Amino acid sequence: MSEITLRKISFNYPNQTRFFISDLIVSIPGRKITALIGPNGSGKTTILKILAGMLEPSNGSILLENKNYRDYSRTQLAKKLSFLPQKENQNQEMTVSEFILTGRAPYIPIWQSPSLQDKEIVDSLMDRFHLQHLKDSSIHQVSGGEFQKIRLMRVFAQQTKVLLLDEPTSHLDLKNRRSILEMIRDEAGHGVTIVFSTHDPDEAADIADHLVLLQAGKAMQTGSTRNVFTKDNFEKLFNMPVDVINVNGKRVLLK
């Protein structure tokens, strides 16, 4: 089911005297969308990097499908989970299809070229998300919104059962934000476990099944969106008065 369990995870960056994340206990349900919500500096990106195996916790353990992360090789882990960073610099010249194809790297033996199956997976994704017309375009010639969709498709091409997405809609206009959320919802419909970070509660309420409210490196509240998305919880999280109302069956935060 691709559940993830963090057991008393602590982490601190070099030259820090106290833990940035301390005794974090979180269970992430499999085949659901989980949103990490919190103000800047609450630990969202750090937790995603720990989940991605990019940062090593100082204490505690992480279980993926009831197996400790330390018992997976790097290649095995790359076939289990994929990570979309919030930002990246892409200086290399390549076409859109070539860029998405790099998501197949864990399956391509060293010194070998992508297989026909790898290329078919990329073509299928471009068809699925209606971007086939950009196939041979340079990644430096597409718009910001198109590039974010392409980055997301590269993660999908990795075909892992867990996706870790760091603020996937940041710096996008309303139309492209909606498109990205629809892509995430669509991928979740294929039985994938998705964890994404956001500072926007309404965005989380739109697609998430499960919420983790983070404050100063600790989980202030976790649970189903229905139970966690409350006025009291968000007033404590952001330390300001808010209201929560229902609009067309969805909860919306009024600041």
E strands in the chain: 4-11, 21-28, 33-37, 59-64, 67-68, 81-84, 162-166, 193-198, 210-215, 218-224, 243-247, 250-254
Confidence of residue 87 (pLDDT cuts 50, 70, 90): confident
Q: How confident is the model at residue 120 (pLDDT cuts 50, 70, 90)?
A: very high
Tokens of 129: 């998300």
In 166-246, which residue ranges form alpha helices assigned H by DSSP?
Answer: 174-188, 201-207, 225-228, 231-238
The crossing angle, in degrees rounded to 10, of helices 174-188 and 144-157 is 10
pTM of the model: 0.96
Per-residue pLDDT, averaged over 65-88, amounts to 93
Q: What is the CA radius of gyration of the chain?
A: 19
Cα–Cα dist 14/252, whole Å: 39
Amino acid at 162: V
* Each residue's pLDDT tens digit, 168-187: 999 899 999 999 999 999 99
| pLDDT, position 175 | 94
Domains of the chain: 4-254 (3.40.50.300)
HEC states along 8-37? EEEECCCCCCCCCEEEEEEEECCCCEEEEE
Give strand pairing partners of 164. Answer: 83, 195
How many Cα neighbours within 13 Å face the side chain of 253?
A: 24
CB 223 within 8 A of CB 211: yes
Instruction: Determine the pLDDT at residue 14.
Output: 86
Beta carbons within 10 angstroms of residue 250's beta carbon? 12
